[in-house]
């Protein structure tokens, strides 16, 4: 066993050396456009698969790489040593640049690791109760994306309403605490359910560390803004989304909408109030960015052309 592990380790080291030392592109300096990495640290059940499918569909045409970050048991918190590996990979893996990385991991601050250039973070969030309902049924019935896959709670026919009425653990308010810690990150306090500090940190990160955060309910506008701002990756994305709307969206099967009573019960909890405050904060910020980037004409949105220029440039060149 030890011998096998030693051989495997040796092979990994050889591959790493090949990529870093003798790699043909080691000395090549990537131009600004290509030396770019986007991280989409997806929150589960926020239409993330629909969006990543667009990234996959465009990567060959727009010449970038897409990589899925698959963590053991979908754990969103990485060990310290894995954080170092991850930061090193993303920063120095030139063969994979420009790169689009996606996975269910919480926000990681690259500045802590002394890197010269940080990646661009983007994300999408969803109304917290709708996200929980979607996740609840997804665990029981799966979706139309991988219909044959057996899900964790398969066979449990209890509706979300019944779960809330009985005070079940799968629909408990604690299960709403997910979008805040995903944006808050790798600190202990982020995962303390109901922490006001965590919510404030999540808001801070959303404003200061994320390039753009969209909402599931307005996914098309999110894609449209990304295409306008980061065409190197997203050229053609809006058109692709519009034409393939049906095929891109995975549907959680057997989903029943919760009753007003169920929603009212969940809304009494402080956890919902905080997750909802964070969601409203993100929504307002997204709408603010959109309002300054588009104009509306006959019910359609159009991206604004460049609205600034340079003048009074001195000294005058001959």
Residues that are catalytic? 102, 104
Helical H segments across the chain, by residue range = 2-20, 48-62, 80-92, 128-141, 160-166, 179-184, 196-208, 219-229, 231-234, 237-243, 245-248, 260-267, 270-291
Which is it for the CA torsion 162, 166, 169, 174, positive or negative? positive
Q: What is the Cα–Cα distance from 12 to 142, expressed in whole angstroms?
A: 35
Q: Which residues have a Cβ under 8 Å from the Cβ of 157 and sit 6 or more positions away?
A: 140
Distance of CA 233 to the CA centre of its chain: 15
Rg (CA), the chain: 22
Show the tokens assigned to 214: 């969209």
* Cα 150 from Cα 155, distance rounded (Å): 10
The half-sphere exposure of 309 on its side-chain side, counting CA atoms within 13 A, is 3
Q: Give the angle 112-117-120 at the CA atoms, nearest 5°.
A: 90
Whole-number Å distance between alpha carbons of 100 and 66: 5
Residue tagged 């220029």 (tokens): 309
Hey, what's the torsion of the CAs at 245, 247, 249, 251, to 10 degrees? 130
């Amino acid at each position: 066993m030890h011998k096998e592990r030693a051989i495997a380790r040796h092979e990994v080291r050889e591959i790493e050396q090949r990529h870093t030392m003798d790699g043909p592109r080691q000395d090549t300096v990537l131009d600004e456009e290509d030396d770019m990495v986007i991280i989409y640290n997806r929150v589960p059940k926020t239409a993330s698969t629909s969006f990543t499918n667009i990234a996959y569909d465009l990567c060959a045409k727009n010449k970038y790489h897409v990589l899925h970050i698959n963590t053991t048991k979908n754990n969103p918190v990485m060990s310290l040593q894995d954080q170092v590996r991850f930061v090193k990979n993303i920063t120095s893996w030139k063969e994979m640049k420009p790169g689009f990385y996606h996975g269910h991991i919480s926000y990681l601050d690259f500045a802590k690791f002394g890197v010269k250039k940080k990646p661009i973070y983007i994300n999408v969030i969803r109304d917290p109760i709708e996200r929980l309902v979607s996740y609840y049924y997804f665990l029981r019935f799966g979706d139309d994306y991988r219909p044959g896959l057996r899900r964790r709670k398969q066979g449990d026919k209890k509706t979300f309403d019944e779960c809330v009425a009985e005070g079940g653990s799968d629909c408990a308010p604690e299960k709403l605490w997910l979008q805040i810690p995903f944006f808050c990150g790798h600190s202990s306090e982020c995962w303390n359910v109901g922490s006001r500090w965590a919510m404030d940190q999540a808001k801070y990160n959303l404003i200061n560390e994320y390039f753009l955060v969209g909402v599931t309910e307005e996914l098309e506008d999110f894609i449209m803004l990304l295409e306008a701002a980061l065409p190197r990756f997203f050229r053609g994305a809006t058109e692709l989304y519009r034409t393939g709307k049906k095929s891109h969206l995975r549907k959680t099967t057997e989903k029943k909408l919760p009753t007003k009573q169920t929603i009212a019960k969940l809304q009494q909890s402080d956890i919902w109030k905080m997750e909802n405050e964070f969601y409203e904060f993100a929504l307002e910020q997204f709408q603010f960015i959109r309002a300054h980037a588009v104009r509306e004409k006959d019910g359609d949105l159009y991206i604004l052309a460049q609205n600034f220029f340079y003048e009074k440039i001195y000294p005058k060149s001959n």
